[in-house]
Structure 1
Amino acid sequence: PQPVPIGEAEWRPFERIEQAVRGIKADTPVAKASKARLVFEASAAPTMVPKLMKVSDPEIEALAVEAGRNDPRLAYLIDQAPNWRKQGDKTLIFVARRESLELIKTALERRAHLRVALFHEDMPTRRRDVEVAQFSLPTGPSILLTTECGGEGRNFQMCRRLVLFDLPWQPGVVEQRIGRLDRIGRDRPTEIVYFRPPSGMGGAVVRLYEAMGLFEQSLGGIDRELRHIGREVERVAVDGPKVLETDIFEAVLKTAEAARTRVQEAAFHQLHRDPYRESMADGILGRVPQDLESLTKEVILAAAAAFGFEVEQQRGEDRWFIALGGEALVENLPGVPDESRFLGTFNREEAVTNESLDFFSSGHPLVEGVLEELQQGNRGRTACFVATGDEEVFGLLALFKREGEIEAVVVDAGGLIRPDLAEALTAPECDLKPADGRRWASLPGWADVIRRMAAALPDHDVPQALAAFRINPDDSKGGRHSDQ
Structure 2
Amino acid sequence: MSEFSPGQRWISDGEAELGLGTVLNGDPRSVTILFSASQETRTYNTRQAPLTRVAFGSGDRVIAADGWQMTVDDSREHQGLIIYLGKDANGDACELPETKLADTMQFDQARDRLLTGQVDRNDWFDLRFRTLHHYQRTEKHPALGFAGPRIDLIPHQLYIADEVARRHAPRVLLADEVGLGKTIEAGLILHRLLLAGRVERALIVVPDSLTHQWLVELLRRFSLSVTLLDESQSQALGEGNPFDSGQIILASQGWLFANPNRQQQALASRFDLLVVDEAHHLDWREDGSGAGYQCVEALAAEIDGLLLLTATPEQMGVESHFARLRLLDPERYHDIARFKEEERHYADVAAAIEALDALPESADARAAIDAVIDDRESQALLATLANAEASDEQRDTARDQLRDALLDRHGTGRVMFRNSRRHVGGFPERRLHTATLALPSAYRRVLRRLERDEDYLDELLIETGLDHPDVLIYPDAMYRELSSDPLNAEDWWHVDPRINWLLEQLSDDSGSGFAGEKVLVIAHHRETAEGVAEGLRTLGGYHAPVFHEDLSLIERDRAAAAFADEEDGCQVLVCSEIGSEGRNFQFCRHLVMFDMPQHPDQLEQRIGRLDRIGQQHAIEIHVPQFEHSPGERLMRWYHEGMDAFSAPHGVGSDLFEAFGDALADALLDDEELDAIISETHAMYTAKLAERNAGRNRLLELNACRPARAARIIDAVRELDADKALPRYVERALDIFGVDSKDIGEGLIHLKPSQQMLDGLPGLAKGEDGFTATYNRDKALARDDVQPLSWEHPLVREMMGRIVDGTMGNTALALFKHPSIPGGRLMAELVFRTHCPAPKRLHLNRFLPPTAVRVLLDESGANLTDKISFTGLGKNLQKVNKSLSRDLIKSRHDQLRGLLDQGESEAERELSSIVEGAETRMRAQLDGELARLNALAEHNPAVRDAELAALESERAALSDAIETTRLRLDAVRVVITVDTDG
Instruction: Using structure 2 for the length normalisation, give the TM-score.
Output: 0.25
- Structure number with bigger Rg: 2
Q: Bigger relative contact order, structure 1 or 2, given CA contacts below 8 A and separation 6+?
A: 2
**Normalising by structure 1, what TM-score?**
0.48
